Chains A and B, each alone.
Chain A
Amino acid sequence: QSVLTQPPSVSGAPGQRVTISCTGSSSNIGAGYDVHWYQQLPGTAPKLLIYGNSNRPSGVPDRFSGSKSGTSASLAITGLQAEDEADYYCQSYDSSLSARVFGGGTKLTVL
């Protein structure tokens, strides 16, 4: 059971928009800690996608965007492409656990 809750799977057709939620609590996201997102393509290491809730590292397309509100955060992907098919993880810090924590991951399927 992950501290940050993500839907196990989402799907969308090419060109569509999908969102992935990340729900936390008052000891992590709700406490003001930033949320970061990673993309993990099959058989590879995770790659930083969004940091500090809504910032994109250099090289990440602006089709990817992040937001945070209250005890939750969201990753939005617009103009869905086949290459976006991957697992996506949110990550934050939890003060009760004194640990960096990850969501359980969401598998994105491009139909």
Chain B
Amino acid sequence: QVQLQESGPGLVKPSQTLSLTCTVSGGSISSGGYYWSWIRQHPGKGLEWIGYIYYSGSTYYNPSLKSRVTISVDTSKNQFSLKLSSVTAADTAVYYCASESGYYYVYWGQGTLVTVSS
């Protein structure tokens, strides 16, 4: 059973860069078969796909966020990471990491709330 766990600062100042890491256990990122994804949920709202990375390093981002998003992978640590630059209050959300297979999300992390505030 694959498990995912998000980690990172819960508070980020406006205009700074949000950085989160997802640690995968119970399976290897390098084994293939999954696209390692980030999804966010604004408070009381729906879900928004941010992007994904494959173990090879290839990425695909939501065009609406593409200019500010970078997703990277560290196969040696079985982790992948999200960086979102120039954040504003509109980026306050619960951020989930998840594994995608066949365009759907099989495993999810528990989520981490990131608040953008000075």
Contacts and interface: CB of A to CB of B under 8 A. Distances in A.
B63 interface: yes
B73 to A, nearest CB: 19
Interface stretch (A68-76, A77-85, A90-98): A90-98
Interface size class on chain A is 20 to 34
A44 B106 CA distance: 15
Interface stretch (B8-16, B21-29, B45-53, B80-88): B45-53
A45 B103 contact: no
Contacts of B106: 48, 57
B30 interface: no
Contacts of B63: 97-99
B46 A105 contact: yes
A104 interface: yes
A20 to B, nearest CB: 14
A104 B48 CA distance: 10
Interface string A30-65: 000110101000001111100110000100000000
Contacts of A99: 49, 62-64
Interface size class on chain B is 10 to 19
B35 to A, nearest CB: 10
Interface in B29-55: 45-49
A56 B106 CA distance: 12
Nearest to A99: B62
Contacts of B100: 100
Given A89-B46, A104-B46, A48 B110 contact: no
Interface string B98-110: 0010111110111
Contacts of A2: 46
Contacts of B105: 36, 38, 46, 48, 91
Contacts of B48: 102
Interface of A: 2, 33-34, 36, 38, 44-48, 51-52, 57, 89, 91-93, 97-105
A-B CB proximity, top 9 nearest = A36-B104, A100-B49, A45-B108, A102-B47, A51-B104, A104-B46, A105-B46, A99-B62, A45-B111
